[in-house]
Structure 1
Amino acid sequence: MKALSVRQPWAWAIIYALKNVENRGWPIHYRGDILIHAAKTCTKKDYQLAREFCQGMGVVIPELISLRRGQVIGIVTIVDCKFSQVASSWGMAGQYHWKLENPREITPIPYIGRLGIFEVPDDLVMEVIAL
């Protein structure tokens, strides 16, 4: 199964706060389910900027220390991808907007992420499905 590493608190927002756009500098042609991996890296500065942005959206995110990192935390469905020069609620101008639907929480599974889209071994996928 495919997976994507996303820095916190954005990974949390995809699964728990209905963040329905992932902003990337590159398009994706894949459509379907993808695992959301919460990356290990998150600086206090990046967290604070994200927290302020989310508050402007009416979303209160958990404290940095309580956010899971270095774990697969959920599954979401990629349904579309379009380049946009215009900002939207979760979308940034000048980025590809990956349209996300159907976020599902899973029991977190420790895993080492990678850059870009990556494949997760079948045994991990079976563990995710079994939970």
Structure 2
Amino acid sequence: MKTLSIRQPWAWLIVRPDLKTPEERAAAAHQLKDIENRTWLTKFRGRFLVHASKGMTKNEYTFAAEFARSIGVTVPPAADLQRGGIIGSVEAVDSVEQHQSPWYMPGNKAIVLRDPRPLPFLSINGRLGFFECPYALPTNHPET
């Protein structure tokens, strides 16, 4: 299955494993990161696995945490974020050069996301761009 490595805490902001029930996810829909900013467009559409990259500098974490806070989202402490593996899946529904989402950063291109689903952590190495995950994984979580 297609997989994309995303640095933390951005990956956490997409998957939001803290929102356990469909009701919690619906209530917090405006706080879900619905855009993945990139320097490139993609023709890929469909569900892909979210890989949380191993690398994360203190400055990257601070910038992302402050940006999320400006939208009303508090991210977990850096030490609590899973890194170096699959943390969930999400659907790519478009690839655009600009977007009205508060998560869009002007000057970038973006993948438009919907329906994030947390998954149990699976340690695997990431790669640049979309890549094939070497394991068969479920793409949805059990509804609670």
Cα deviation code 1:54-105 (max 9, x no counterpart): 1001000000000000010000000011102x66400011111210000000
Residue 92 (structure 1) aligned to one of 89, 97, 105: 105
In structure 1, C-alpha distance between the alignment counterparts of 2:8 and 2:40, rounded to whole Å: 20
RMSD: 1.7
Q: What TM-score, normalized by structure 1, do the two folds share?
A: 0.91
> Relative to 1, partners in 2 of residues 1:130 and 1:11: Cα closer, same or farther, differing over 3 Å?
closer
Question: Is the counterpart of residue 117 in structure 1 residue 130 in structure 2?
Answer: yes
Q: Kindly state the Cα deviation for residue 129 of structure 1 after the two structures are TM-superposed.
A: 5.2
The answer to whether structure 1 residue 105 and structure 2 residue 97 are counterparts is no
Residue segments in structure 2 that go unaligned for 5+ positions in a row = 17-30
* Structure 1: segments with no counterpart, 5+ residues: none
The alignment partner of 2:127 has SS state of: coil
SS in 1 for 2:112: strand
Q: Which runs of 4+ in 1 moved over 2 A?
A: 128-131
- Deviation (angstroms), 1:130: 9.2
Query: Separation in 2 of the partners of 1:81 and 1:115?
Result: 17
Task: Identify, as 1 or 2, the structure richer in strand.
Answer: 1
> How far did residue 53 of structure 1 move?
0.5
Match of 2:42 among 17, 25, 28: 28
Aligned equivalent of 2:22: none
Q: How many residues align?
A: 127
Query: 1:45: Cα distance to partner?
Result: 1.1
